[in-house]
Chains A and B, each alone.
Chain A
Amino acid sequence: MGWPLQRPVFRFSPGVHAGTIAVIASPVSPTSSTQNPRKVLAMTNLKLVALENRERTIIQVGNVRFGAGFVIIGGPCSVESEEQMIETAIAVKSAGADMLRGGAFKPRTSPYAFQGLGLQGLKILAKAREATGLPFATEVLDTRDVSWVAEFADMIQIGARNMQNYSLLKEIGKLRKPILLKRGMYSTLEEWLNCAEYIMSEGNPNVVLCERGIRSFETYTRNTLDLSAVPAVKEMSHLPVITDPTHGTGKVGLIAPMSLASVAAGSDGLIIEVHRKPAEALSDKDQALTPPQFSGLVQKVRALAKFMEGIR
């Protein structure tokens, strides 16, 4: 399968409106206040995703509001057991996170690596939600699992590897569940936003974007976290965008600095991997924070977010 190769086409005239969409309007002004929003670069065919005089969208997941305040999601890469998930969830909550994450269906580089607990993992995540009161996001890989994941999850994640899996995007577009759309590791911003357009054109207006690092020639880091994507997306789209510094760097030591940089760049939130004992994790053990590390990071992030709020 080839990747779409057409080059981004930029033009200055506003795109075609496809009628109003069901978004929760907020009175937040666009980040680039000096620019006339009408003159902001508009991409072709982003009828529902483009900013174009629209108000910024707030997406509600339980009591959490993406696009209003700073949202922190924490949890393990994979759900490994009920005990591990619930212990981590409680730690993540007491650290001050707003939401949980945890993989039940895992896209692994090797077919022999741990593939996730599947439906059992979803049931455990539901128990963790019950124990903490926090909603959770989890990834779906297979169109045949979409309805089932939606039965359990509060937010459905489309991982970087599946960003351009158009049949999966169409399937989740038929839901009304909030979607966390990660940026593909080889994707341009236009390709990414077109994927959000796929979901919205099927009728689901609840899309949150997530920058998680792209492939570059650098090998020290797992990916190169493209923080310029955050303000760039905000120039082009009304959708909230959060950052994943865990996958964006793949290095425990870089997660906190890049989290703070994300806040400064105008990100609407963070998604961070936390494991009660990272060395024993079945996946992503080199990039998971311990609960105390996560707790320290949340405090710094909250303080900076408050400061940024004051100078906006």
Chain B
Amino acid sequence: MNLKEIRNNIDRIDQQLPILLRQRMEYALQAEKHKDDAQDLAREESVFEKVTAKSSSLLDKSFLSDLYKLILAESKKLQARHLKLVGFQGEHGAWSEIAIHAFGSEMAPIPCLEFRDVFACVANHDLEFGVVPVENSIEGSVTEVNDLLVEADLKIVAEAVIPIHHNLLALPGTNHQEIRSVYSHPQALGQCRAFLSRNKLEPRPFYNTAGAARWLAHERQRSAGVIASRLAAEFYELDIIKENIEDHPENATRFVLLSTQPRTGTSPANKCTIAFSTQHRAGALSDVVRIFAENKVNLTRIESRPIRTNPGTFAFLLDFQGKPDDPAVVRALENAKKAAMMFKNLGFYPEATL
């Protein structure tokens, strides 16, 4: 190994260490929700014991113990801040994580593998909130999230519309001519469909945009590119081959903040989401929709999803503008509930604009 190769290896480890440390802090924050007191001496004792047992001629016992004193002190400091834990699908640098910042400060983004894990962690009170994408201005509905919104018993407490500017990323030093296939979340691949086709790049679905960036940084494939955020490029030390590769500059995604509790915020709510199903007969959907028209309630979105447990039947998600104390809105909701088979009010929240 020459000096350059040795330094590359050191850089690779330095890239991994903060990722592991952050993961450790995230688990520490989650652990806090399960115990009464941040101080647990027996547990700390066992942590020190396990770590110092790994000492060697290069890793002195006192060095390891000093290092862990620092780490544990930092996790306790973090725990004392009582940050709100917010689940998002994917890995650090994902668009959902970027969206979390739109919902407030003092929040700790916690990565979850799948959308259903975000819903489950919130429902089980492992996390206070969850942030999920509902729809995109180019690619349309995020179908899995819409299905989960119908199925789950969670409330929407806020929404945010986030501009999405995708980047084509590759390993540093990659020649653009070598890139053959591009890995990303199907939503991101869809939002960049024309770009991929123009440049004859094969789309390869991956579970998450930032996850694909992390995978590339680890697997180091020269012929692969990734579509992800600038944040992901910085975090996983990838080169930006081309920025703003989305098929239209007005690419934006609507994210919602989920909770088990109804909204407690002070800003006035002027939008609502409901989920319902109707009988399978002519005009059943129209009957429900007409109730809103008759009460002069403006609908902003209607989404139909097949009910997966009963193919051939459909559930509808409907967003409308209206305040919870507006008599016309109250009347429309009461009548819609009567007309529908299944009916769920997912909650009122302040409408977001770009």
Contacts and interface: CB of A to CB of B under 8 A. Distances in A.
Interface of A: 118-119, 142, 144-145, 147-148, 150-152
Contacts of A151: 195, 198-199, 242, 245
B177 interface: yes
B241 interface: yes
Contacts of A150: 198
Interface residues of B, number: 10
A142 B177 CA distance: 10
B24 interface: no
B199 A145 contact: no
16 contacts: A118-B175, A119-B175, A119-B176, A119-B241, A142-B177, A147-B198, A147-B199, A147-B200, A148-B176, A148-B177, A148-B242, A150-B198, A151-B198, A151-B199, A151-B242, A151-B245
A144 B177 contact: yes
Contacts, number: 22
Nearest to A152: B242
Tell me what chain A mostly uses at the interface: helix, strand, loop, or mixed: helix
B307 to A, nearest CB: 43
A102 B145 CA distance: 47
Interface in B67-126: none
Contacts of B198: 147, 150-151
A170 to B, nearest CB: 15
A142 B241 CA distance: 18
A163 B176 CA distance: 24
A147 B195 CA distance: 9
Contacts of A119: 175-176, 241
Nearest to B197: A147
Contacts of A147: 198-200
Among B175, B176, B199, max chain A CB count under 10 A is at: B176
- 4 shortest A-B CB distances, which residue pairs? A147-B199, A144-B177, A119-B176, A147-B198
Nearest to B240: A123
Contacts of A148: 176-177, 199, 242
Interface centre among B175, B177, B245 (most CB of A within 10 A): B177
A148 B174 CA distance: 14
Nearest to B242: A151
A118 B241 CA distance: 11
Interface string B240-280: 01100100000000000000000000000000000000000
Contacts of B241: 119
Interface string B270-301: 00000000000000000000000000000000
